[in-house]
Structure 1
Amino acid sequence: MKLAVFDFDSTLMDGETLDIIARETNFADKISDITAKGMRGEIDFFESLQMRVSLLKGIKLETVNEICSSLPIMNGAKETIDELHKKGYKCVCFSGGFKNATVLFAQKLNLDAEFANIFHVKDNVLTGKVGGEMMFSDSKGNMLLTLQKLLDVSYDDTLVVGDGANDLSMFKHAKNRAAFCAKEVLKKEANIIIDKKDLRLILDNV
């Protein structure tokens, strides 16, 4: 068995979920700026996540779910997942974003599993608080180690794909490390670099 782990925002999905949801607020520019700094590794991921989600307080859950249901799939994502399955890979998504989106994408792309965060909601309205499986800068790396042990998959049989600083922790534990339209901080640790928005180009390297 082999394992392929994909980031969600700007990897399986063409955009940043929080930035798109933020258009419903008066803080869209501020949230986008925090996202960019976090992706470059200039702000701790946990801190950036908390700051951004706090600015979404008051948005209706229904609105969030409507937005997540129409997020754009990255060019080539479905074909890449299908081909990796044929090659014997289990395909998983690790997202510092939210299950409101990743659960839907797991169904659309036929992913084997997804791990993400959860908006805290009260009376069907976002409270500005967040919890979940991917809260910290080392969360993806820790979860990858767990899956490798659970599935008995080796370092050599692991592919990881991401675009930002919070993907660094999982790059440590995979032989094939693809930086997809990525920030420089991640490209430095990659041995596969894709600068065109087409996930199928990864298939040339696995």
Structure 2
Amino acid sequence: MSICTLIAADTLEGGIISEVNDRLAAVGCVPGAVRWLSDGKAVDIAFDGNIGSARAALSVLEDRCDIVVQGEHNRRKMLLVSDMDSTMITVECIDELADFAGIKPQIAAITERAMAGELDFTEALKARVALLAGLDENMIAQCLRERVRPMPGAEVLVRTMTGWGAHAVLVSGGFTSFTGPVAELLGFTEVHANVLKVKDGRLTGGLTGDIVDAAVKKAVLHSAAVSQGIPLEATIAVGDGANDLPMIAAAVAGDGLGIGYHPRPQLAKAANFSVRHNDLTALLFAQGVAPNEWLR
């Protein structure tokens, strides 16, 4: 059997389950049992049939609720690999640092184009970091304190998954100055990010070591799966921008969940589940986990 999960931002529309059943039947899928994960908000609908056909048939409903279609096997995942900025936290850290330097509009414009896939990520990152040259390194701690907040649902997601034994990896094209504290707060056990170069208490405008880009994110997904002995079908990869696309595509290719979190259009095309209406607890509903099982 396969499972279609509907997740509303508030309350599912009346009649939507019947509509889903009709759309599934129209493409040769046989609807089965209905199980509410959260009354009125999230529901599982079992069906027998082709997953790809079901996804295509139900895609027209994605403007009304979040919909994930997947096999019943290995539904509860054992590996979570996530982006940080605008995924596990609500901001882009480099943009917020730029605000302290008085150049946020210039840097934010580059960030948006890079996340949309319009610019080479590595070159765009180097260009933005160069503009931060001379910034007092104490601004990093101030930025963390004043600007960086967990995305709603982030702590519940990570703690619930690690609570059943999943391995959680934070992999970011951002900076270790932020990923370390965020990982500790949320409960990630493995972290990969870029290192800002500092001299005499100020940012130099450069980076130290290899750059964590899209290719590295994909490699981290594979290496974590191998080191933990977890098949890709038991993996979730989640992100929001073009830099996450290879990682997301790798999870999808391995029959895992490649999730776009309020994604840019390019990433949404590669994902097999996009969260557009909900917070990160949608990833728990997608795994069939009801709120009474969440670790808060």
Answering whether residue 244 of structure 2 is matched by residue 167 of structure 1, we say: yes
Q: Does 1:137 align with 2:222?
A: no
Q: How many residues align?
A: 206
1:95 counterpart residue number: 172
The answer to which of 10-19 and 145-154 deviates more is 145-154
Q: CA deviation at 1:64?
A: 1.4
Q: CA deviation at 1:197?
A: 5.1
| Structure 1 residues not aligned, in runs of 5+ | none
Cα 1:146/1:113, change in 2 over 3 Å: same
**Is the contact between residue 81 and residue 237 of structure 2 (CA under 8 Å) also seen in structure 1?**
yes
Tell me by how many angstroms 1:106 deviates.
1.2
Rounded Cα–Cα distance in structure 1 between residues aligned with 2:273 and 2:121: 24
Aligned to 1:12: 88
Deviations 1:29-84 (A, max 9, x none): 11000000000000011011001100000001111122123411111110111111
Distance (whole Å) between structure 1 residues aligned to residue 149 and residue 221 of structure 2: 26
Structure 1 contact 116–132 (Cα < 8 Å) conserved: no
Query: For the Cα contact (< 8 Å) 1:44–1:137, is it kept in 2?
Result: no
Quick one: distance in 1 between partners of 2:126 and 2:212? 9
Moved over 4 A (4+): none
Supply the RMSD in Å over aligned alpha carbons.
1.4
Partner of 1:156: 233
- Alignment-mate amino acid for residue 262 of structure 2: C
Counterpart of 1:33 (choices 109, 126, 129) is 109
Structure whose alpha-carbon radius of gyration is higher: 2
Structure 2 length normalisation: TM-score?
A: 0.67
Does the residue aligned with 1:46 lie in a helix, a strand or coil? helix
Partner of 1:84: helix, strand, or coil?
A: helix
Equivalent-residue separation in structure 2 for 1:8 and 1:53 (angstroms)? 18
Structure 2 residue 200 is matched with structure 1 residue 119 = no
Counterpart of 2:271 in structure 1: which amino acid? Answer: A
Query: Bigger relative contact order, structure 1 or 2, given CA contacts below 8 A and separation 6+?
Result: 1
Residue number in structure 2 paired with 1:195? 276
Question: How does the TM-score come out when normalised to structure 1?
Answer: 0.95
